[in-house]
Structures are given as structure tokens and as C-alpha cells.
Amino acid sequence: MKSSGEELSIGDLAAGFGLATHVLRHWESAGVLRPARRVGDRRRYTREHRLRVALILQAQAAGFSLEQIRVLVEAPDGPARRGLLREHLAELDERIARLRATRDMMACAADCGSEDVLECPTMRSGLESVAAEGGCAAGLAAHRAPFGAS
């Protein structure tokens, strides 16, 4: 049931995005979403919160952690937010380049004449490069660090 006026209940806000209400409660505990007010023990959200939920979902799809989203939404002003987005854009570009290289390696191995893809020279060469660099896990962890972390 729709809430009165311009306010939305947590259920209405969550349902508009196909989310469970516990997701919004989790986001609240992570500091990325706060209700406009509470009436008794019930959260009330405005239409502006719909934009915040859309931002959170898009940021997560782009690889932002909830901590990175919190830092973004709590940034003091537009220029600070823009700088954070540029920083993350550079990380996305690096991740895309790694994904393209991995995709190309896998495509080559899938079409390789070797009996086993693990014996494909291109696949082996790519895997040897990853092993020499310390593996993908270290690179992935670096991209999940909050903004401004070293």
C-alpha cells in the first residue's frame, strides 16, 4: 500500500526496485541511506530517496563497495564527489583492460587446436603471467579498497 503524500514506506521504496526491505536496512547501517524521518518506529522516505537508491545500485554495478558509496555520498561538495568518481573511473578502466585480456585469452583457448585448453600455449602463457604477478586476488583486493585508502 502506498504511503500518504510524498512519503514512501520502506516497503514501497524497496518494492520500487525489486529489493527486499532488509537490503535498505543494511544500507542504512552502512551509512549510505538514511530515512527522511521516522513516524513512531516506521521509516519514511521521500521521492529523493528513490534517486539515492538508484545511485547505490548503479555504483554497486560499477564495482563500488558500500564503503566507497558512503564516502561518495558524504563528500563535502560536488567537486569532491567528482574527484572520487574520476578516481573510480580510472580503476574501472584498469579492470576493463584486465577483463578484456582475460576474455581474449579464454576465447583463444576455446578455439585452440590443443586437445586440452589447459595445454593451449596462449592459455598457459597467460596463466604464467598471472602466477608471476602474484595472482588476480591481489589486484582485485586493491580495487575494492575504499577511496583514499593506501
The three-class DSSP label of residue 37 is strand
Higher pLDDT, 24 or 139: 24
Per-chain mean pLDDT for the chain = 85
Mean pLDDT of 72-91: 93
The answer to whether 3 and 12 are in contact (CB under 8 A) is yes
Closest CA to 127 of 142, 105, 98, 110: 105
Mean pLDDT is lowest, of 17-21, 64-68, 116-120, 131-135, for 131-135
d(C-alpha 9, C-alpha 7), whole Å: 7
Other C-beta atoms closer than 10 Å to the C-beta of 109 total: 20
More confident residue, 129 or 70: 70
